[in-house]
Amino acid sequence: MVPDTAPIFPGRRPLAAMGVAILLVALFGGFASARFRHAGEWVPAIPNTIGHWESIDSPIAAEILEGLGNPPTISKMYVNPLGERVYASVMAVGPFENYHDPMVCIAGGGNFSMTAREIFPLDGPGSGKIRAMIFRRRDGAVRMLMYYWQQSRDGSTDTSARMGNYRDMLARFDTGLGAVVIGRQTCLMRIHAFIRPDDPDGVQAQRNVEEISRTIYQALRRDAGLEPLK
Amino acid sequence: MSTNAATIENSPPTTATDPRLMFFRRHAIWLVVLAPYLLAWWLPFVWSWNRWTNPAYVLFFQPFVPVLAVYLAWTKRDRVTQVWKRYGKRSSQGFLMRGNALPFALGIGVLAFAHLVQIKGLAVIGLLLIAWGVVYRFFGARILKALGLSMAFSLLAVPPPDSIAEMVMRLCGRVTLSAAAALFRWLHVSAYTSPDKADTLIFSERGYTVDYLSAQAGLGVLSLNLLLLFCRGMAGGFSLLRLTELLSVLLLSVLLTAGLNLIRVMVAGMMGGNATELSRLLAHNGWILLLMGGLSLALSLAIEAGVTRAGRQVALRRAMKKARPRRASVSTAEPAPEPPASTVVAPPTATVADRPKHAPRRPPVRVNPFGVLAAGWKRSEMAIEKGFRMLSRRKRRRR
């Protein structure tokens, strides 16, 4: 029986259609990369003075920034007349290599472990949610309180991690859709203070971090052209 | 006129008749798909560039996978042609056997999604699906099945989650450091690993440390070695004998590379106090390891070649032994009936004198340094295989 074989060289039309489809998806990749870069171009200014807090520039180490893909960053240390310190950093985030989560980066180093974690609205009902975490050094000598959130230019906030490739896929898809399709611009906020030994419950540290965080949150909204929350 | 004709006859073949050029002309239509396909690899390549160019990284082998997968497909070209000639793309075949564009469309979707979430593993899966989808769409399921080995091999290009790769690297670095510390202690040199995670080798007297980042540096080279040997093994086909050969050579490569890396870490540690620059060079420059990897690969391949050659010789000897007529059967057996006259072929009348003076000589047998070991190894493998066969025969008889 002679096999009913089609010619080994396929028809031009289906082959051209496949070539066009691959070309389109490759171009979409380039477009998506450009949009991710655009998403990381919003670096909102944060106030130099907040009440009786004065700020000093406190740049992040170059090696750390290199590991994050060198995103544009503003980092400050706020000091009050009592000598208490609160550290705040704004990092414009585009591609996912910029999204390092404190739960992984601080706790993953092996020196600190996360002892508490809570998500709540920062500035009352209707305001954006943030994630508060307490990290404790293994020897128990140092404790750190950190407020962390992702602030979008449209006013929304998000607290979920985006570092894991497969574990955080849904959160990554949300960011990808926002950055590529909607054109959303985002920055990462990290505001932290070390809890002093004379503050066993961390009440004073929380008060300080919260004061700085709320003011910066309102400043970010103003920078984005949004009305301040009442 | 005549001079013109002579010129045409003596001139080299024109471009129109050059078979190589004809081949490319006939297949040029595939460029319509191939060019955008290579373009689509660009972004996953950029995402993985830092890791793929680091010889200490466990996935250092991945950029070589597509090339080796194409090589594997090329080795199966006779089988593919055979399947195509036998079955072709029959219109009577079902929807699934005939081939359709669904896997291709799925690949496009996965790749687009991967661009949104920027996951390189997903992007590579999408690209592989696209390649397989094109083959399936135009040639059907039977050709895809004939290329199954190459397809399975290409899956090695998919990067696993970073956490797994880093865990493997950390583990290998710590194992190397622990082994180095144990060896140093055996040599009465005071060296120990850091107590909590064993990620640093500390020389208390010399005041020098080797961290796990430099200790794991042989891993990328080792993985590339294993990949090349694995590809070689797959290209040779599968049998119990072949599989044992492959596993033994892979094991040998692992031992060689791990041993060389251990020696490197120990030398770097020993020289820490005396020749700091050289020690740093050894400890932190992973490219030096490529030489070690190349050496271990060459040794592995030489041994593999020795084993294969010895195996062939043993098999040939056995075949010749079987083919030799037995004396008893010659003496007792009836003489074979003579064929009819019409089919009788005249015996060769050539004599010794007619033989060409310069008869082709047998190629000189090269002395294989691993010959004895390899032949012994091969004989034991064949004995194992024989044992397996006997067992399976007995099982069949019982049934």
CB-nearest to B91 from A4, A21, A173 is A4
SS3 of chain A: CCCCCCCCCCCHHHHHHHHHHHHHHHHHHHHHHHHHHHHCCCCCCCCCEECCEEEEECCCCHHHHHHCCCCCEEEEEEECCCCCEEEEEEEEECCHHHCCCHHHHCHHHCCEEEEEEEEEECCCCCCCEEEEEEEEECCCCCEEEEEEEEEECCCCEECCCCCCCCCCHHHHHHHHHHHHHHCCCEEEEEEEEEECCCCCCCHHHHHHHHHHHHHHHHHHHHHCCCCCCC
**CA-wise closest residue to A101 among A57, A45, A159:** A159
CA–CA distance, A195 with A198 (Å, rounded to integer): 8
Q: Which two tokens stand for residue B171?
A: 């583990």
Mutate to test the interface with A, among B98, B117, B132, B213 (most CBs of A within 10 A): B117
- Which has the closest alpha carbon to A97: A65, A73, A132? A65
Beta carbons within 10 angstroms of residue B27's beta carbon = 12
Cα B13 to the chain's mean position, in Å? 38
Percent of chain A scored above 70 by pLDDT?
Answer: 93
> Taking CB atoms and an 8 Å cutoff, what residues of chain B touch A3?
85-88, 90
> Torsion angle, CA of A29/A34/A40/A44, rounded to 10 degrees?
-150
Indicate the length of chain A as a whole number: 230
* d(CA A142, nearest CA chain B) in Å: 20
DSSP percent split of chain B into helix, strand, coil, nearest 5: 70, 5, 25
Residue appearing with tokens 């880093």: B166
Return the closest-CA partner of residue B203 out of B170, B180, B172: B180
Residues B33, B134 contacting (CB under 8 angstroms): yes
Plot region of A72 (φ>0 → left; ψ -120 to 50 → alpha; else → beta):
beta
**Could you give the residue ranges of the DSSP H alpha helices within B191-287?**
212-215, 219-235, 240-270, 276-284
Contact between chains at B137 and A21 (C-beta distance less than 8 A): no
CB contact under 8 A, A28 and B115: yes
Cα gap B336→B192, rounded to integer Å = 81
Question: What is the spatial distance between Cα A55 and Cα A61, in angstroms, rounded to a whole number?
Answer: 18
* H-run or E-run covering B208: strand B208-211
The pairing of strands B200-203 and A49-50 is: unpaired
Query: Which chain A residues touch B118 with a CB distance below 8 Å?
Result: 32, 36, 95-96, 172, 176
Q: What is the distance in angstroms between the Cα of A79 and the nearest Cα belonging to chain B? A: 37
Residue of B nearest to A67 (CA): B50
Q: Do A177 and B116 lie within an 8 Å CB cutoff?
A: yes
**What residues of A are in contact with residue B108 (Cβ under 8 Å)?**
21-22, 25
User: Tell me, what's the ipTM?
Assistant: 0.86
Q: What is the SS3 assignment for A85? A: strand
Looking at residue B99, its pLDDT comes to 80
Q: Could you tell me the two tokens for A78?
A: 């706020």
DSSP, collapsed to helix, strand or coil, labels residue A69 as: coil
Other beta carbons less than 10 A from residue A24's beta carbon: 14
Which residues in chain A have Cβ-Cβ distances shorter than 8 Å to B104?
Answer: 18, 21
Of B42, B111, B134, the CB nearest to A18: B134
Query: CA angle, corner B308, sides to B78 and B150, nearest 5?
Result: 35
How confident is the model at residue B336, as a pLDDT? 47
Q: How many other CB atoms are found less than 10 A from the CB of residue B29?
A: 16
- Angstrom distance (rounded) from CA B274 to CA A67: 33
Written as six digits, the tokens of A199 are: 């503050």
Residue A195: phi and psi, rounded to 5, are: -85, 125
Looking up tokens 């297949």 gives: B27
Q: Do A28 and B112 touch (CB under 8 A)?
A: yes
> Cβ–Cβ of A9/B162 closer than 8 Å?
no
Position B208 scores a pLDDT of: 65
Task: List the single residue in B32, B86, B91 with the smallest CB-CB distance to A16.
Answer: B32
Nearest to A23 among B29, B36, B104 (CB): B36
Q: What is the least distance, in Å, from the CA of A125 to any CA of chain B? A: 31
Q: How far apart are CA B375 and CA B309, in angstroms?
A: 9
Which residues in chain A touch residue B197, judged by CB atoms under 8 angstroms apart? Answer: 110
Q: What is the DSSP letter of A199?
A: -
Smallest CA–CA distance from B92 into chain A, residue: A4
Alpha-carbon radius of gyration of chain B: 30
Q: What is the pLDDT of residue A127?
A: 83
Q: What is the pLDDT of residues A156-183, one digit of tens each?
A: 899 888 877 777 888 899 999 999 999 9
Which residues on B lie below 8 Å from A6 (Cβ)?
A: 88-89
Please list the pLDDT of chain B residue by residue as tens digits (399 residues): 444 444 444 555 555 567 767 777 777 888 999 999 999 999 999 888 877 877 778 888 888 898 889 988 988 888 888 888 887 766 566 777 778 889 999 999 999 999 999 998 999 999 999 999 999 988 888 888 889 888 988 999 998 888 888 888 878 777 888 888 888 888 877 777 776 655 667 776 666 666 655 556 667 777 777 787 777 777 766 666 667 777 777 777 777 777 877 877 777 777 765 556 666 666 666 555 656 666 666 666 666 666 666 666 766 777 777 776 655 444 444 444 544 544 444 444 445 455 555 555 555 555 555 566 666 666 777 777 778 788 888 877 877
CB B70 within 8 A of CB B62: no
Return averaged pLDDT per consecutive 10 residues of chain A, 230 residues in all.
Answer: 48 88 96 94 91 91 88 94 93 90 77 86 85 88 92 90 80 92 93 91 92 92 79
How far apart are alpha carbons B132 and B40 in whole angstroms? Answer: 15
Residue B100's contacts (CB-CB under 8 Å, 6 or more residues apart) are B136, B137
Per CB-CB distance under 8 Å, the chain A contacts of B50 are none
Residue A147: in which H helix or E strand, if any? Answer: strand A143-152
B192 in the Ramachandran plot: left (φ > 0), alpha (ψ -120 to 50) or beta? beta
Q: Provide the token pair at B136.
A: 């399936």
Q: Which positions in chain A touch B81 (Cβ < 8 Å)?
A: none
- Quote the pLDDT of residue A90: 94
